[in-house]
Amino acid sequence: MELLGLSLALFGAALAAALAGIGSAIGIGVAGGAAAGVMTEDPNKFGSCLILQALPGTQGIYGLLIAFFVLNKIGLLGGAGAVALNWNQGLQIFASCLPIALVGWYSAIWQGRTSAASIQMIAKKPEAMGKAIILPAMVETYAVLALLTSILMLMGVQVG
Amino acid sequence: MGVARLKKAELYYHKSVYGEIAAALQNSGSCQIISTTEENKKRPSDVEALLSKTEDRLADVRYLTRTLTPHYVDPVPSLDRMLGERPDVTMTELEELASQTDLKAVCERTRAIEHETGEVRTKLSEARMNISLLAALDFFPYPLSVITEGTRTLSGLAGTLRAENVSGLKAAIGDLSQYKDDTELVVAPYDPKDKAAEVYAAVIFSRKLESEIREICTKQGLSFIEVPSVLKGTTDEEREKFTASIAELEARESELASQLADTAQENVPTVQKLSDYYNSLAGRYGETLNSDETASTMLTKFWLPADKADGIRQTIEAISPDVELTLSDPAPEDEPPSLLNNGNTVRPFNILTELYSSPTYRGIDPTPLLAPFFWIFFGMCLGDAGYAIVVFGTILYVFRKYKKIAPGVKDFIRLFLFCSVSTFIYGVISGSFFGNFIDSFVPVLVPLKNALMLVDPMTNPMQVLGISLLLGVIHLMFGLLVAAYDKLRHGEFIDAIGNDISWFLLIVGLCLLGTAMMGMLPAHFFDIGRAMAIAGAVIIFIYAGKGEPNIFKKVINGFLALYGSTSYLGDILSYSRLLALGFGSAVIGMVINLLGGLASDIPYVGWLIAIVVIIGGHIFSIAINILGSFVHPLRLQYVEFFGKFYTGGGEAFTPLTLSQEYVNLKA
């Protein structure tokens, strides 16, 4: 049982990287489909399409960031060796990972849909690029807030 | 600063100088023609002829651009093109080029190639279809002419049917053959166990039996296939023939493709120049006319910036003494376009306003107001001194290498040049240099880094969160004050107090009250804050019930308005993204350094892998973080800041200019 804490912490890190990554993959995929459709008509829109397609990718990075944060906190990175965690501390770290894991997962999917819609928009109105970028960014707000929550929670958890 | 003052110009002139006047207005690049309906544009007949000739040429140019450009390999990289590495030409040179170029001949040649390519492709796909049909008919032992033409006495047909029906068909034909020996059923090899498989079969029969055989076959489920009449020999002979013809056609196809590529290589640069030339002419003659006042006098109306008026007057009066230019200020009923007129420092930020929506002519230009905030926010989001140096250096290199960058593009790049400075500053005070590069790899510099650090998001994020939210409050309150100023300017005194000042008092009051309560400010600020907050809340409460006769509804409206304070809470918390994104870039940088550090432990090649990981990783990190650092501060401007006072809704000033899609075109 003395490894339960470590396992819980790792489980949290895995969820943060995996769920947020899955969300970003789906979001980018959805937006990419729309981008490819627009580019068959007008290949010159590659630049703006790529920017809009990349927007839902940040959640995956946020998830990765939290996962690294956890690994660093429990001493699995670098040569120092894992710190001792009781199950309580492990559960706390696990809980800290949930905001970015869940919000990252879902917000990336919806951001991808908004990006796809924005890509359709610039197909017809290329001059509306500013607005097209802002609409998906509205969705990302909640991923940013979740990232912040996860970071603050993780910093608050006392280990070692 | 702000929206430039425009003049409305009415220019009367004699028909004979129309061409020169139109050219002068276009070359000045500072006149936006006030357009009129096409019916009202009465051009002199020679100009009309010139315009229709121009449009005719434009059609050719567009055809050639569309057809040839995909086959054109530009020797200059497209990035260089974007940064202004394009031919410098003048209209006079292009006029000469246009007279020497036989566009029609190029079009004809291109059309001929296109036409033949189409024919070759049709033949190719026919031949390929025949080849695959031949493969299916391989079981047929006789020349195919038996099926396609028949002999004097015999005819044939081919088709497919399900394997389970083969025996039925055999039996049915067998019944017939008891009377007539000259009927034969040939079936391709098949697997009797797979009942649903489609099997190819052919029947040869006496011409006299044709209708009966067809009836039997249909009844037994054979669906006929049309064998093209060109197939006459045995399948092997025919295959050989078509394989040879495919090779021939393919050779011709690639020859045509290379002809098209050659035509493209030879003509596209000229076509591009002419595209700009004819587009410029079409713009010039298509736009510049408003109405025909008298038999020989013409009138053109346009907007122009007040400070350009003298220059235009001189140019026009030099063309002909018989012109009359009257300039007037926009009348109250006019809706002039808006031209943002900001100095070198603020101008790069114009694009942020234009991306949202241009201000109205009489509205506020928000650019100078948002510029400092965007600059700070971008710096906090990217927040890394190393990244800032990379961005700054890259841009300086670009500016040194490319001297002809178009002004709009140059301003956009300059925006990032400016923001790299704030990024550097925040990177230094938050101790981030390529993430934690200094701590990881150059420990000797750690004391220097630490000495310069004012905030430490890694160990004390609450401090940076506080700064972020404080900046948010300042940003929002500034927005409210601008809104109040805008209302006062238009004499809406009560609305300014009720809508904007009241909220300003409430929120600033609450902030003072809160910080004083936590002991961060001296105690007497508590009373000031409380007084401000109460005053603000009372005004909001009363203002919301204004114009509502029913006392209960007054009260309800008042409370609902106060409930609106939650949206301010949301707005303020939204600024926490400044911490989160800055944190994001710092930690991504840290992760990259960590991976590099781990890689360097690999024996022999470790150092190489580490270098690749660190350089590649940081380039990736810069790209992804610049995107985030641009988008999120922009959102804070558009949603939180503009939400308080700015709606845009104006029309941007778009002067008549020479077309510069492909070349740098001068008058």
Q: Give per-residue pLDDT as tens, A16-30.
A: 999 999 999 999 999
Cβ count near B461 (within 10 Å): 20
Adjacent-strand bridge partners of B326 = B10
Could you tell me the sign of the dihedral formed by the alpha carbons of A96, A101, A102, A108, in that order? Answer: positive
Residue A141 and residue B466: Cα distance in Å, rounded?
18
**In chain B, what is the greatest distance between 2 CA atoms, to the nearest angstrom?**
123
Q: Counting one residue from A and one from B, how many pairs have CB atoms under 8 Å apart?
A: 79
> With an 8 Å Cβ cutoff, is B645 touching chain A?
no
pLDDT mean for each 10 residues of chain B (667 residues): 87 85 89 76 76 90 91 89 88 91 91 94 92 88 86 86 85 70 80 84 84 85 86 88 92 93 92 93 78 72 90 89 89 90 92 89 92 96 95 96 90 95 95 91 90 86 88 95 92 90 93 86 88 93 84 86 82 88 88 88 88 94 92 89 87 90 88
Residue B66, judged by CB atoms within 10 A of its CB (0-12, 13-18, 19+), counts as exposed
Burial class (CB within 10 angstroms; exposed 0-12, middle 13-18, buried 19+) of B79: exposed
CB distance B31 to B283 below 8 Å: no
Answer for the pair B236, B198: CB distance below 8 angstroms, yes or no: no
A141 neighbourhood in chain B, CB within 8 Å: 574, 577, 635
Q: Are B591 and A130 inside 8 Å of each other by CB?
A: no
Q: Computed over its alpha carbons, how large is the radius of gyration of chain B?
A: 39
Could you tell me the two tokens for B353?
A: 């306003």
Annotate A117-137 with b (16+ C-beta within 10 A) or e (fewer).
bbbebbbeeeeebbbbbbbbb
Q: Is B639–A144 a contact, with Cβ atoms under 8 angstroms apart?
A: no
Q: What is the pLDDT of residue A26?
A: 96
- Inspect the interface and report whether the beta carbons of B639 and A138 lie closer than 8 Å: yes
- A134 Cα to chain B: minimum distance (Å): 6
Our CA-based measurement puts residue B215 at a distance from the nearest CA of chain A, in whole angstroms, of 49
Of the partner residues B352, B461, B635, the one whose CB lies closest to the CB of residue A152: B461
Which helix (H) or strand (E) covers residue B96, if one does? Answer: helix B91-100
Question: Is the pTM for the entire model greater than 0.95?
Answer: no
The answer to whether B161 and B169 are in contact (CB under 8 A) is yes
Shortest CB distance from B581 goes to which of A131, A133, A144?
Answer: A144
- CA–CA separation, B585 and B388 (whole Å): 12
| Chain B residues within 8 A of A99 when measuring between CB atoms | none
Angstrom CA distances, A69 to A154, B215, B231, B257, B443, stand at 8, 79, 73, 56, 22
Record: contact B356-A130, CB cut-off 8 A = yes
Give the chain B residue nearest A66 (alpha carbons).
Answer: B587
Closest alpha carbon within chain A to B596 = A78
Low-confidence ranges of chain A (pLDDT < 50): none
Residues of A in contact with B581 (CB under 8 A): 144
What are the percentages of helix, strand and coil residues in chain A, rounded to 5? 85, 0, 15
Other CB atoms within 10 Å distance of the CB of residue B376: 19
**Residues B275 and B65 sit within 8 Å (Cβ to Cβ):** yes
According to DSSP H, which parts of B522-638 are helical?
A: 524-544, 551-563, 565-574, 576-599, 606-635
Residue of B nearest to A68 (CA): B591
Interface contact flag, A65 B355, Cβ < 8 Å: no
Residue of A nearest to B440 (CA): A78
Q: Report the chain A residue with the minimal C-alpha distance to residue B381.
A: A144
Distances in Å between the alpha carbon of B152 and those of B149, B202, B211, B215? 9, 18, 17, 22
Q: What pLDDT is recorded for position B185?
A: 83
Query: What b/e sequence results for B98-136 when a residue is b if at least 16 CB atoms lie within 10 Å of its CB, and e otherwise?
Result: beebebeebbeebeebeeebeebeebbebbeebeebbee
* Closest-CA distance of chain B to residue A1, Å: 30
| Torsion, Cα of B595, B596, B600, B602 (10° steps) | 40
Best mutation target among A66, A118, A135, A147 (most B Cβ atoms within 10 Å) is A147
Q: Which of A52, A100, A133, A149 would you mutate first to test chain B, the one with the most B CBs within 10 A?
A: A133
User: Alpha-carbon distance B356 to B352, whole Å?
Assistant: 7
The verdict on ipTM greater than 0.90 is no
What is the secondary structure of B320-389 as a DSSP string?
Answer: -SS-EEEEEPPPTT----B-B---TTTGGGHHHHHHH-PPPTTS---HHHHHHHHHHHHHHHH--HHHHH
CB-CB under 8 Å, A61 with B584: yes
Residue type present at position B333: E
